Amino acid sequence: MADIIQLLPDHVANQIAAGEVVQRPASVVKELLENAIDAGADAIKLIIKDGGKALIQVVDNGSGMSATDARLSFERHATSKIKNADDLFRLTTKGFRGEALASIAAIAHVELLTKTEADELGVQLKIEGSKLVAQEVTVTPKGTSFCVKNLFFNIPARRNFLKSNQVEFRHITDEFHRVALAHPNIQFHFYNNGSELFNLPKANYRQRIVGVFGAKTNEKLVPVAEETQVVKISGFISKPEFSKKSRGEQFFFVNDRFIKSPYLHHAVVSAFEGLIRSDNHPGYFLYLSIDPASIDINIHPTKTEIKFDDEHTLYAILRSAIKHALGQFNVIPALDFEQDQNLETPYAYQNKQADVPKVVVDADFNPFAKDIPRSKSIPYFEKQTTIGWQNLYVGLESKVGKEADFSSVSFESESISGSIFEDDNLMIDSVTTTFQLKRKYIVTTIKSGMIIIDQSRAHQRVLYESFLKNITIKEAVSQQLLFPLSLSFSKSEIAIILEIKDSLVTLGFAFEAVEDEHIAISGVPLLVPESEVGIVLDQLISDFQMDVPGDSFSQSDIVSKTLSKSLSVKTGEQLDSESQAALVNNLFACKEYKISPFNKPIYITITGDDIDKKFY
């Protein structure tokens, strides 16, 4: 039998490795930013076009590379971070695999400009699909500039799997947030399609968090600080009242590297137990400093998951540190049983004597006298006279005496149409009563038995079709506010609002101003209470950030689904009989009344035969 095993060519091996290293444009951004940080840069620029598909450029003022190092950096397993296997357990840098640049160059057009401080001239490299196209000496400032164009140009199948520009841009923004938050001592500039999105100067951790997520974040933060022999914990947690239904502002950093750890996340959530609702999530920005020898960061291709030697101790320390911070800054309500606050004397009255009350007696008072004289010490109330009360009823005799003429009075009535159901088994009699079961289901009778409806899903379907219709015909009614409602958001959240602004306007939202971190709303749809506008917009932003329900759905569909979920009747709300009947009628007047907007069944039917079988 002939030999069938052969070595792969380098360009094929690089493309296979690129599948691990580069999943989307955000992966390229992460690798290039980490390389710039490892190069000792204190000022980094990130330039993006078309969600990273057309251009990703990272410019830094780091140490730069010589011509030999620049050419060698694109070879597989070429790195300056480690020398032997033991170095893997003493890592203090970001990148160390030696495959990032080789993988990126295998699936894109790459242009590199770099120069060290000792060299007078720099070097320019152009690589297309792992092939060196040009290498020239050029004039360039100290540092390195990586320019990645036409990502996945030679792998059309991978390029077709990329999401829309907006979705890919949001993933890039997430990676930028993680790197920028981990390194507040570095100045960052972020440009998207020619406009500056972030300009973050050097700052401390709190200032960097506020610079990324907006000025509204400052009031939410509670400092956390704990130092032990195992770990040093610093950073901030959000106050319980600012918890959200989404997991947006949750960041763990271990030795200035962003990680994801469900185990440590559970420690944070357990510390907030009893302070927030079970379906809400706390925000946190926690920085952990640990001995590199006690962790292993080489267990995941993207290096976002690491392994700790003693997770249980770390869990206990983290949970205690957060509980201590919540109690230290009076975030947790406390009861003091040793001192009664009601018995404390205010400072202004500590040196004052108590005034003795005086009793005034009218010696001339005679209860049997006909005319009670006025006393200077006793208040005297005038007796109200009733003279002239007959004048109040002048002109009413003629109206009372005559019979009312109701010949011209008309009554409003709803015309009862025929059955709206093709299936006679689902025909609901208009006079049939309904009742609520466990404040979750609405039960009513049909021709063949009875029907049990999930009230929340039914209301979601009714609202969803109503919102979708308003967006389509653009005839939604807007309720104008007496005073404009001012809300604060971060720059990335404002970008999402601008993206969906047209859909929100067709629903009835009226925007008076949309600025860097503030928006002013002068009108809202009739179905949206003014007090819930902020909650609705937060949920919309969260769904778009988390790519829910998916890029395959239109923008109007996502907006309609989010609004219907936020404004629908929830499980546990009690409905009166009129509301129950109206919800049932509105549900079966929808085009699709069997499933909710999120593809879940709305009702079930129980026939008479099913009930009879229970008695056999």
CATH number where 599 lies: 3.30.1370.100
Same domain, 150 and 288: no
Give me the domain span that covers residue 320. Answer: 205-293+308-328
Token pair 């160390």 is found at: 96
Instruction: Answer whether residue 379 shows pLDDT above 50.
Output: no
Q: What is the DSSP string of 410-425?
A: ------------SSGG
Q: What angle do CA 461, 465, 469 make, to 5 degrees?
A: 170
- Mind spelling out the 3-state secondary structure of 176-245? HHHHHHHCCCCEEEEEECCEEEEEECCCCHHHHHHHHHCHHHHHHEEEEEEECCCCEEEEEEECHHHCEC
DSSP bridge pairs for 232: 227, 289
Check if the beta carbon of residue 525 is closer than 8 Å to that of residue 476.
yes
Same domain, 77 and 169: yes
- Give the end of a domain, one of 167, 184, 200: 200
Contacts of residue 287, defined as CB under 8 A and 6 or more positions apart, other chains included, come to: 182, 205, 233, 234, 235, 253, 256
Q: What is the pLDDT of residues 388-429, one digit of tens each?
A: 655 656 655 554 455 555 555 555 544 444 444 445 455 555
Give domain status of residue 418, yes or no.
no
The alpha-helical segments, DSSP class H, found in 39-129 are: 67-72, 100-106
Would you state the pLDDT for residue 462? 93
Same domain, 495 and 544: yes
Q: What is the pLDDT of residues 75-121, one digit of tens each?
A: 877 766 666 666 565 666 666 555 788 888 888 999 999 999 999 99
Same domain, 164 and 255: no
The mean pLDDT of 325-347, rounded to a whole number, is 62
Check if the beta carbon of residue 52 is closer than 8 Å to that of residue 108.
no
Same domain, 193 and 219: no
Q: Is 572 left (phi over 0), alpha (psi -120 to 50) or beta?
A: left
Would you state the pLDDT for residue 420? 43
Would you state the pLDDT for residue 342? 54
Would you state the pLDDT for residue 389? 59
Name the token pair of 336: 């003091």
Instruction: Answer whether residue 547 shows pLDDT above 50.
Output: yes
Considering its fold, how many domains does the chain have in total?
3
Same domain, 91 and 210: no
Cis peptide before 549 (omega within 30 of 0): yes
Sign, CA dihedral 366-371-372-376, equals negative
Q: What is the pLDDT of residues 155-203, one digit of tens each?
A: 888 888 888 888 888 889 999 999 999 999 999 999 998 888 899 999 9
CATH code of 316's domain? 3.30.230.10
Contacts of residue 199, defined as CB under 8 A and 6 or more positions apart, other chains included, come to: 188, 189, 190
pLDDT-based confidence at residue 243 (cuts at 50, 70, 90) = confident
Instruction: Answer whether residue 556 shows pLDDT above 90.
Output: no
Same domain, 196 and 221: no
Same domain, 177 and 226: no
Query: Which one is predicted more confidently, 323 or 3?
Result: 323
User: What is this structure's pTM?
Assistant: 0.71
Cα 308 to Cα 293: distance, rounded to the nearest angstrom: 10
CATH code of 122's domain? 3.30.565.10
Same domain, 188 and 239: no
SS3 call for 357: coil
Cα 104 to Cα 22: distance, rounded to the nearest angstrom: 7
- Give the end of a domain, one of 161, 184, 200: 200
Same domain, 36 and 135: yes
pLDDT mean across residues, the chain: 81
Cα 287 to Cα 295: distance, rounded to the nearest angstrom: 15
Contacts of residue 356, defined as CB under 8 A and 6 or more positions apart, other chains included, come to: none
Q: Which amino acid is at 443?
A: V
Cα 271 to Cα 157: distance, rounded to the nearest angstrom: 46
Cα 366 to Cα 195: distance, rounded to the nearest angstrom: 91
